[in-house]
Each structure stands twice: as structure tokens, then as C-alpha cells.
Amino acid sequence: MQSASPSGGHFELTAVPAMAWQRTRAGIPAGALWSSLIVFLLVLTIARSTVAASWVPGLLDSLPMVALAGAVTMGVLALTPLPWWLSVMVGLLAGPAVAGLIAAPIFRADNVIDPTATGTNLINAWLTKVSDGSAFGDRAFVLFLITWLMWVTGAWLSWCVLRWRQPMIGLVPGTAALATNVLNFPGDQNGYTLSFIVLTFALLLWSNYTGSIAKAVRVNMKLMGDARWDFWETGVVAMAGLLLLAIMLPPLSNQDRTLTIQSSLFSSWAQLQEQLNHPSVSGQGTATGGGTTGFSLSVGLGGPLKTSKNPVFTYTVVGTFPGPKYFRGANITETENGYWTYPTFPVDWQATIAKGQSPEYGENYSPMALALFRINMVSPPRGSGDVLFYPGQFFSVDRSTVASEVHASPDTVTSSSLYTVDKLSVFNPSRSNGAYSITVGYPDVSEDELRAAGSDYPAWILPYMTVRTTGYRPNDTLTRIHDLAVSLVKNTTNQYDAANAIQAYLRGDLFRYTLTPRLPDRGQDPLDFFLFNSHEGYCQYYATAMGDMLRSLGIPVRLVNGYGPGSYSTSTGLYTVHDSDAHTWVEAYFPKYGWIPFEPTNDHEQTWNPIQRKTQTVPLCLRDNLCVPGGTPSSSGSPRVGGAPGFQEPNGPSSDGTTGFTLKSLDAGTVTRIAGGLLALILIVFGVVARYLRPRTVMGVWKRTLMLARLAGTRLQPGETPLELSRRLSSVFPEAASAVRDVARGFVVAAYAPPDLAPSARTSVLEAWVALRPLMLRRVARRLRPHRA
């Protein structure tokens, strides 16, 4: 069988990729290839950073390919002669289309939509979610926005670098995305941050270089021999300095302001509509028309609620807090027109508390466990921007505050002491935004201790024990509620068991938790309808029912509006509390122990579980032991001020009884600083070497020629003249023969010619050195890496 190949020809398939690469590279403008490579690496860095942030867990793995596809698409369009407006329009239209294709399956899975529904149906469903404020709580919508952002990041950067030659403008969306990731998930972003900084500096340096060369070519400007070398030498040193500054300087901000923007764009939109439709309504759906989840100063049995995912604050805990992490905003004590409310009229007593000081309490409860909460208020609730939130009982905070007490004890005016803090507000400034550290306490008592607390209530507690008989609910409803309470507690012998019996009844299978409860007929009391008909509602329904029943039995009780524990992120080590965590719970008073929380809300799918009593097995920081939160009780009776548990004092004993020096693993931030410092050091060394290889004298050129020849394997022989050496180097390094001869001849003139002729050799030697230097450096590299030769 004869070959079908041309006579004498030989074709290798392995040559196809190399040929294609050569043709592609030849067709790309000068500098565009390296610019494209840096752009692609930057885009991948930003996309991988967003994947690590896990804004939508498990659904962001496609982001790197989306961002890269955007960069490639606009990069190709940038290199074509198409009008700029047409190319940009193509990129703008492709972005939402790609994002929609990726997010559509998730949207279908999360929402009840006809499988045969068209794209128009999906768009209309999304627009409905945007209008009612629930869009940002929909993971499909978040996926759509983030995917679109990644497309814009890649496409815009590629277009600005390759077509407009404006990398600074192109970096804007990507930098914003990376900054948002770093501020919200700093633990997983160190490597991406370092890569972004290095690649950004490289892109700016390379773009400046190619732009300068292109400008010189356009005006027919001849560059000096060492102009390019001088540019890179200066640029690399500057890059090293900027890299050190970027890594070592403290951050300008550790708070993500985009969360506030998110609030105004999504969650607050629905709240604003509710405010316009029902001007007297505030917060958690306290009107028949419903509303959105969030903090309020009233508790009512209203209509359906829509979930708002607006982040409110983040927090960490120092020490062990034995109580539930329920963040108190206001104690709700008054009843009127079917509502429990915080009073709009002036409260009985207000006390100004200086920063770091503790209020003087009229009663001290024991044992009181202390803990320190570090809270960062991101977006204060609408209408309550001065309120500080905290769990348990307030002791001190690093803000100037005003503590309000709705019902003051008769002796409060004379003793200036507080029996309870019903609301804690900040002043100067009167906004709670930002970080604050607050020390709180919780009475760590057992059920048996609460059963034995008795009912010897002090005089100041009387306003919390009675039901208002006029202006609150119909008398027949109050009677039915009281009779139900009596039937539930008939087998109990103390106040604690009575409260537990009512809580257990509301948490039973008869009741169902829902954000869309049925509404009573006109004229029927909502609580009556909840307890005896519908048996369905959200936290305000359950708390109101328990509060009314306990007061009908003469047990002192109040409701509390605030937030639940929120969700924990292992990547940041922070709890984040959203509007969806807004909650109302019940607190009953027990002599010697104070206000004890109860959880009547029957929602087993969330965190609203029965509150445990004194189950902690770890040591607690007790006030009676003069403990400082985060430290340990001191045997001497004085507080031990120190770090968090496990903190090692220098040369002091460790927790296991050993002494001496201990090594700790480096955190990610330290590793990043070390890596950045090493990279900057390498760049500085490169700059120093570059400066050494740019001599200004003939003697300097000759010395560096001898040094590079020695590194390449050829040494100056004893008694060998410069011209003899040049002939030997020309034979060893034939590609550098002409430059070596010019350097040697120039050196001979400069060294041995009369003084009036010697300076004339300098220019020719420096020009010959510019040609010789890269050739000699290649020879040195080949010797150092023989396997690459």
C-alpha cells in the first residue's frame, strides 16, 4: 500500500498545536498576549475568591468559567474592528442571559412553577419577588446577581485592557467584588488577596510599558539603548514597595458598607411599601395587612409576614454564656388595644451610664454568670437606630448610654438605682452603627431553685402581675383566657411549674407555627381566635398568649422583642443576625433570681427550643467570684484580668500545668504577610541585580562582562589581554561574538588611549553592552538549568 502523503513529504500531527499557536500569536497585537494572560489570571482570582466566600453554598462552582467566558468573549471582540458600541452591547446582553441560564434551574427547584413555564413566567416571578422584598432571600436570585457580576468583571476588565488600554477603569467591578468577599469572609481570602495585589501591579506595570512603547513607535521616537531595562528596573522596585505597603498597612475598613446598600435595595423596599400602606404599623407584621420580619417596639397579632434577609449585626462571645443567645432590644410591658407595647409616653426613670460603667441595680441576683459579647451593628433596625442589643442582663458597654425603666420602684427617685433596663440607647452619637463590646449576665439557676423561689414579690413588680381590664381585650375573651390558664396549671404547686405547663401547652401538637396565619372574622379578638380556633401563628402569637395567661394568674411577666442567635460561619468565626431572626419571647420574674426567659413558640424547625436550665458542665465566670469575662476566677478573690481562656502568659504556667515556651501554628493572615514579604524581597533583589547590570562607565561594563563570562563557565586566564579574551569568548559564545569584540575594543581604547581619545569609547561600549547583556544572561541561565538547554 502506498502512502497518500506528498512524495518525499512528512507531516507530523504533533506539529499542529505548535503551528496554530504560532499563527495565533503572530495575529495578536504586540503586548496583547501577556495582557490577556494577566487579565485571565485576575478574573480567575476574583471568581475563585467569590466561590470561597460561599454566598450561595454549593452553587457557585461555575463562576470561574463564567468570568473567564466573559473575559474571552470581550477580549476577542476587543481585537476585532467592530464598532465599540456594538461590542459593548453584545457583552451587556450576554451577561444576564448567561446568569439567567445558570440560575433558572435553581429557581425552578425552589419555587412551585409549572415545569413547562416559559422564560417570561420566570422573569415575572422574579420581578414579583423584587417588588415584595423577598428577592435577596431567594438563593436563585442571589446566584443570578453574583453570576452576572462575575460576567461583568471578566468582560469589562478584558475590554478596558485590550481595547481602551485603561486597566484602572476595568478593575473597578472586580475590585468591588473582591473587597466585599474580604470584608465578609476574611478567613478564606488571604491567598486571593495577595494574588490580586500582585497581578494588579503586574497588569498596571505591563500596560504602562506597552502603552509607552506604542506611543514612541507612533511618533517615530528612537529609544535609548537602556530605556526598556531602566523602565523594568524602576517598575519592579516600585512594585515591591507598593506590595509591602499593601500587605503591612492596617486596613482602612473592616465593615462592609454594601450590606447597607443591600438593605435599601431589597429588604427595605418591602418595609417601605408597608410603611406607605399602613403608616401606623412598625416592624413585625403588626397589622392585618401583614409586613416583613424585623424588630419592633410592639407585639401584635397581625397578618402574614414576608421574610427579610437584611443583615442586622454580627457578634462573637468571650467566655461561656449559659443562657440563650436572645438579643434583647426592648422589654414590652404595656397592654393596650390588643397589643403589648413599649410605651410611647415618657418612662418613669432614665439613667445616664458612662462608657465602661455599670448601672446601680436595686436587686442583685445570684449566681450571675458573666460573658462579653463583641457586636458589630451593620444595619440598625428602622426607627430604632439608637438601640443596643444584648442578651441577658446588662452590666457595662464601651458606649455612653441611657438606660430606661418603664415602671420605676418607689425608691428609685431617691436612690438613683435601677431594677431593670427596659431599653438601652446610645447617645453622642445617637446611632448604634459600628462595633461595641458589652458585658452581660445571666442567672445560672436550676429548675429546683426556681421552683423554690416562692411568690414573695417586691412592690416594684406589681405592674407586671395584672391584666388590664379596660381598653385591652373584651372581658369575655379575658375570662376565657384565664379559665384556660387555670385548667392548664391545676396540677402545679409553684409558679415555675405553672409557667412550664403553659409553655408546654403552646408547644404541643395542637399548635402550628406559620408566617401566614389565618385571620379572625371581623369583630373577633385575634388572641381568642388563635387559642380556641386557628391554633396557628408566629412568635408574637405564642408570646402574647403565654403573657396574657401568666398575668391572669398573677405571675409577673413581660415580653421581650429582639433577635435570636443568628447563624454561625466557620469561615469568619462570626454569628450573623438577620431581620429573619427577629423574635419575641417571654420572661417571668422569680424572687432572688430575677427575670427568667421562656420559649413558647412552637417552631421546631428553627432555633426556638425550650430553654435549658443550668446544664453547663464548663466553669462559668461568676460575678460573685469577682471574675472578668474571658478570664478565670481568682483564688485570691480579686478579678483576674487577662486574655480569653487558654491564653498563655509569658513564662507563666499553661493550662495543663506545664511551663515554658510553646509554638503556635501560624494563622492565614501571618502566612500571607510572610509570603508577600518574601515576594517583595525577591522583587527588591531583582531590582538590585538589574541596577548592577546597568553600568554607567566603560570599566563597569568590562567588570560585568568578566563576571557574566565567569558565571557562564569561561574565566579570564592569567596574562590574557582583553582582545585575546574577546576572541576566546567569540568562539565559546558565537551568538555574542560581535558584541564581545565591540566591548573589548572599546575597553582597550578607554584604558590605554590618550586621555583626549579615551572618553569617545564610552558610547560605543554602552551600546555594545546593551546587545551583549541578554545574550550572556541566557548563557548563564542555560548553565544553571542544563536540562532546559
DSSP letter for 187, please.
G
Q: Which pLDDT does position 211 carry in this prediction?
A: 81
Do 545 and 464 contact (CB within 8 A), yes or no? no
Nearest-angstrom CA–CA distance, 546 and 601: 10
At residue 649, the pLDDT reads 29
Long-range CB pairs of 111-114, under 8 A, 24+ apart, other chains included: 111/138, 111/140
β-bridge mates for residue 442, sequence order: 369
Give the tens place of pLDDT for each residue, 413-452.
445 578 999 999 998 888 898 899 999 998 889 999 999 9
Domain ranges of the chain: 29-197, 260-625, 696-788
Assess contact for 711 and 780: CB atoms under 8 A.
yes
User: Can you spell out the DSSP letters for 429-443?
Assistant: S----EEEEEEEEEE
Of 285, 277, 329, which is closest to residue 304 (Cα–Cα)? 285
What is the amino acid identity at position 429? Answer: P
Peptide bond into 324 cis (omega under 30): no
Residue 41 is classified by DSSP as H
Question: What is the dihedral sign for C-alpha 745, 750, 754, 759?
Answer: positive
Contact 483, 489 (CB under 8 A): no
In one-letter notation, the amino acid at residue 701 is: V
- Helix (H) / strand (E) element for 87: namely helix 84-110
pLDDT of residue 114: 52
Give the pLDDT score at 443: 86
Q: Output Rg (C-alpha) for the chain, integer angstroms.
A: 37
CB of 442 within 8 A of CB of 323? yes
Work out the number of other CB atoms within 10 angstroms of the CB of residue 767.
17
Q: If you search the block for the grid coordinates 404599623, which residue do you land on?
A: 281
Cell of 725: 579574551
Q: Are strands 305-306 and 311-318 parallel, antiparallel or unpaired?
A: unpaired
Q: Give the start-end residues of each E strand in 378-507.
A: 393-397, 401-405, 423-426, 434-443
What is the Cα–Cα distance from 768 to 701, expressed in whole angstroms? Answer: 9
Distance (Å, whole) CA 586 – CA 370 = 21
Contacts from 682-689 at CB under 8 Å and sequence distance 24+?
683/236, 683/237, 683/239, 683/240, 683/243, 684/237, 684/240, 686/236, 687/233, 687/236, 687/237, 687/240
Closest-CA residue to 770 (of 294, 226, 181)? 226
pLDDT tens digits, 52-65: 887 776 778 899 99
Name residues of the chain where pLDDT drops below 50: 1-11, 13, 257, 259-289, 413-414, 617, 631-664
The pLDDT score that the predictor gives to residue 8 is 46
* 157 contacts: CB under 8 Å, gap ≥ 6: 39, 42, 43, 71, 167, 170, 171, 173, 174
**Beta strands 567-569; 574-578: pairing state:** antiparallel
Distance CA 197, CA 204 (A): 11
Report the alpha-carbon distance of residue 629 to residue 317 in Å, rounded. 10
**Residues facing residue 536 across a β-bridge:** 512
The β-bridge partners of 586 are 559, 598
| Distance between CA atoms of residues 95 and 173, nearest Å | 14
Q: How far apart are CA 363 and CA 359, in angstroms?
A: 11
**Contact in structure between 614 and 446 (CB atoms under 8 Å):** yes
Residue 590 in grid coordinates: 422569680
Per-chain mean pLDDT for the chain:
80
